[in-house]
Structure 1
């Protein structure tokens, strides 16, 4: 018998291994197995299929070992992986690498072992080789990450190869299981003293060691109140030492035992809904239920602050009472903090969070709780799709329009909203998409009766939509070439709002202090050495940063071109806004929410709670402040640079600009209807800004959908974008043109390009792009994907183009 096994590598096809007779009884699809690939690389792969078809073209190796007694993957997950790999043009190994927690994805850990026969004479070695050899002599074994630390470099393979060639060391490959349950010591009373009479006798006749007596009394109190007593809790409560506890253990009064415990703490499981829906919400709720009875997908289009979350809570309650599970997806981790507190209030420990900020051990524990069915509601970002649900009844995709649902790099470049709809089909779960500004494709699907459509057009409590005021920057005095950060109207409004005890949100879609630094004499702009982009100055760290490759540079004080010291900071990011406000608003507490300020797992939650508790008066942020956050006390929202939102070369630019501005506007006046939104722009008559001013989503949709039809863009076509990357510009250009020539006979009418993107070099690789706009014909699309893969292989067979990286991106956004 043979097994088709997925290993976490980008192999175009799954490899097949032979099943030894002694392992056959223990092997099931979804189990992990240890296999050898190549000479001595070991991997933990997932068994996809067991069959009797012997491979004809190669001699299969035997599976070494079975790692799991029961499958870690459900059958529907294997189907989802296969669809994702096929639809998004990647390998199932790449999907596996994205889908599984790291502890399930084992690969051989390279270990260098010192060769005793070489001796201790290292005089023939160069400096780097000598450092490693000396460390090996002392430790006998080194892992590759230790070698990297010793040499302070990530490029250690040449040095390691030389050492192996000189027989200073050899390589030992080991495959290790990395997940370990967290264990804690618990304290128990010796069974002899379970008898109350015996215990009273012990306490009444106690004569010495008062500290031990105190510790024992603390134990008895904790036992009565908590039900079980951990060693750390006991020592903390009694203010005792390890030695005093040890004394009681040696007297056989107490005993200790180690137990596996959860890394994450959960509330008691309870369903307690303590609110009533408004008449408008009740009507929408009934319509959603009716829609999901006849259709698998329903779009809930509810204006900002209409109370969509309360509808979700009522739906979740119904599904939990049926004994099923719910997946509640949000586009950003930052959003989960506020929603989780609300959901825990209603559902207690039924709720769990799953996203990339959890450490690997925590993710394994959540995984196992979902698989056992113990965790009923999973709240998470796009990776929560991949959980091993036992009985999934409902998928809620909130803020479904958000671009963060689309994975960019690495593969699979999937859209979690679309994958959720496919997952619903596999598991029989209903899918509810929710947004105040739906994606045009989703709204089109709802309008053409592919999805159900429910509209909730009034704010909760009949609160009015915020008033929109345009501030024409052309009328604001400024120096030539300077960007206005705060007009007088906006600054006065901020001061007045804070003086009334209300809060302000300011939106600027650029982080850092200054997006670029330029010379006033010759016009030179500080640029990244590895990318064709300007460097952003971050004042807090006093560094220049590239937001594309992450490289950091020291600040520049003289022009690299003409030597002048007349350098100025142009434009402004969130860091600079924060500084200006700190200076101009005396005694006002400013908070900043962007990628630089929100670093660890809980930082965003801390800032949101501070803002909720009114410890922060003005919150400055990037897109993080736009999405779905609900604050009672926000009266003013300022959009500082609306022009930057409508000046992108992208067919979705108007849709995205409307969504961003309408969403951030929706943070204002959510309780009393006295919200004000001030938009600073040089284009007050721009159609999108006028639509935002009227809160006119339908008007924007009608105008944009007509243009999409006219120019054959989604939803009327399907887009595949092919990216070409290489370190030499002429090579990548020639490769892109050669590939396009191959595609042209069959798909010429659908091709746009190839062309250089606006930013044509990132991480030292030059870029070209080819856009393929295909009709919505599934056979033609499938054939085109096959041809793309075929022509990529043909191109790579030419020596000159062997190292050109081609990345197909399906449904690129």
Structure 2
């Protein structure tokens, strides 16, 4: 949108502020777009905000408006549809719009701020007293009239630098110019889209039946939402791949959300086998540089398939036509810290609606709310009840732990007699076993047998977990470590109970039951270090 004299912009900030602020646009500016970042004065400071409205009137404000200091982005990093989606997120999740807009940009696309010191009056200090540091700065600037602030401070040294700069500024000898840079328009490159050869994805009869309504949605003018309820191993990924293939063939983009960072490589690899370099990955564990490069590839249209975790809901796909949420029931789709707090699964529903995209929620165990929405007709319910190929459904055993304890069948209340038998059978056949336990450490709780007091982290208000390997109590939230008490700090009782089961305890018990077998524990404690 072209600007002219007397133009007013409304700005929001990536801060815990709900207010919208108005500023005058410099008359020499030629163009500014909604979503661009600007540097503006706010409460005696310079802050970076987002432009959300451009007008010729400040609304009901009658006071004197401050002027924008600098335009940071030469083009808006957000499409009109993305801006509409971000506004919805702000309103629906009661989060300041500025924070939502900041979350939609990769961390590597921050604002670059540079300061330069410029000599503006060589004679301003004539007849005046110099401090030693002032003289060094002044003589340096006489050789070359402009230096970066960082270079000058590094050359002169920190001691006395700031007071000397203040004195030179006050005398009118120098000035400090601050400049900002951010997003630069990327040349779109969608020329090869749809031209590459894509391998045919064959479906079984059951899969083809399930895919039929999805095909109608992708090829029709009214995209719909689907809840794909498929048992484990039924081939939901083949449905995703077939939908992606059809979408790309029609010139659309595809977004696949997965609940965990650990799942992105295998899903991306699977899609990459069919769609090659068209696939990009986005998640918070990437370096800032890698995340920005992925974002820019997507923005340019070089990647038309994006695989990522919840933050990928903001992927800048320009022509999104298929949005897949795999394992939609997972709680990890919910962002709890920091703001904005949102559910990527629920946000996906709205983004698909805004973009005019087909929505596909997939799960072997759908959430109650999704099942309810399907029952109410908000989604079309499709069911895959057969496992893919000749894969057999595993036999499940439900163990009554209380009954086992009474019979004495549990080994330290950890390994049931049936599990012990099954492990022995597999070992005798030369096979391997994987046991899953959802808590690390030895015991998640140390409790006093007398008064029931449990040791908690003073900073996080959660119970410490006992780690036998280090004989210490750890907080799994902040990492705080402390010694194990020899008596209860509340009542002085020395009889402490180590309650609950962690991976270290399971490892110890397995080593006792099967002393000749190598037991390997794999959790954050054993895999987080280099070369682990």
TM-score tier by shorter-chain length is 0.7 to 0.9
Structure 2 SS opposite 1:426? helix
176 and 26 in structure 1: CA distance in 2 versus 1, 3 angstrom threshold = closer
Q: How far does residue 393 in structure 1 lie from its aligned partner after superposition? A: 1.3
- 1:8 corresponds in structure 2 to 14
- Is the Cα contact below 8 Å between 1:581 and 1:590 reproduced in 2? no
**How far apart are the structure 1 equivalents of 2:46 and 2:481?**
36
1:247-286 to 2 correspondences below 5 Å: 271-273=197-199, 276-286=202-212
- 1:288 corresponds in structure 2 to 214
Alignment partner for residue 84 of structure 1, among 86, 89, 97? Answer: 89
Alignment partner for residue 467 of structure 2, among 538, 547, 559? Answer: 538
**How far apart are the structure 1 equivalents of 2:452 and 2:57?**
68
1:112-511 to 2 correspondences below 5 Å: 139-140=157-158, 271-273=197-199, 276-290=202-216, 293=220, 295-477=223-405, 484-511=413-440
Q: Relative contact order (alpha carbons < 8 A, sep ≥ 6): 1 or 2 greater?
A: 2
Alignment partner for residue 56 of structure 2, among 45, 49, 52? Answer: 52
Alignment partner for residue 17 of structure 1, among 14, 18, 23? Answer: 23
**How far apart are the structure 1 equivalents of 2:471 and 2:325?**
40
- 2:43 corresponds in structure 1 to 38
- 2:522 corresponds in structure 1 to 592
**How far apart are the structure 2 equivalents of 1:493 and 1:270?**
50
How many residues in Structure 1 have an aligned counterpart in Structure 2? 468
- 1:580 corresponds in structure 2 to 509
Q: Which runs of 5+ in 1 are unaligned?
A: 111-115, 120-134, 143-159, 181-268, 608-813
Deviation string 1:371-423 (CA, Å, 9 cap, x unpaired) is 11111110001100112211111100111111111111222221111111111
- Is the Cα contact below 8 Å between 1:281 and 1:311 reproduced in 2? yes
Normalized per residue, which structure has more helix? 1
Deviation string 1:285-333 (CA, Å, 9 cap, x unpaired) is 1233235545521111111110000110111111112222100001111
58 and 412 in structure 1: CA distance in 2 versus 1, 3 angstrom threshold = farther
Structure 2 SS opposite 1:327? strand
- 1:101 corresponds in structure 2 to 106
Structure 1 SS opposite 2:216? helix
108 and 542 in structure 1: CA distance in 2 versus 1, 3 angstrom threshold = farther
117 and 99 in structure 1: CA distance in 2 versus 1, 3 angstrom threshold = farther
**How far apart are the structure 2 equivalents of 1:53 and 1:503?**
72
Q: How far does residue 526 in structure 1 lie from its aligned partner after superposition? A: 2.2
Q: How far does residue 476 in structure 1 lie from its aligned partner after superposition? A: 2.9
**How far apart are the structure 2 equivalents of 1:33 and 1:588?**
60
Deviation string 1:657-701 (CA, Å, 9 cap, x unpaired) is xxxxxxxxxxxxxxxxxxxxxxxxxxxxxxxxxxxxxxxxxxxxx
- Is the Cα contact below 8 Å between 2:228 and 2:363 reproduced in 1? yes
- 2:445 corresponds in structure 1 to 516
- Is the Cα contact below 8 Å between 2:304 and 2:317 reproduced in 1? no
Alignment partner for residue 26 of structure 1, among 13, 22, 31? Answer: 31
Alignment partner for residue 73 of structure 2, among 58, 68, 78? Answer: 68
Structure 1 SS opposite 2:233? coil
- Is the Cα contact below 8 Å between 1:10 and 1:92 reproduced in 2? no
Structure 2 SS opposite 1:17? strand
- Is the Cα contact below 8 Å between 1:316 and 1:326 reproduced in 2? yes
**How far apart are the structure 1 equivalents of 2:525 and 2:215?**
42
Q: How far does residue 589 in structure 1 lie from its aligned partner after superposition? A: 5.2
- Is the Cα contact below 8 Å between 1:99 and 1:386 reproduced in 2? yes
Q: CA RMSD in A?
A: 3.6
Q: Which runs of 5+ in 2 are unaligned?
A: 1-6, 116-129, 134-152, 171-175, 185-194
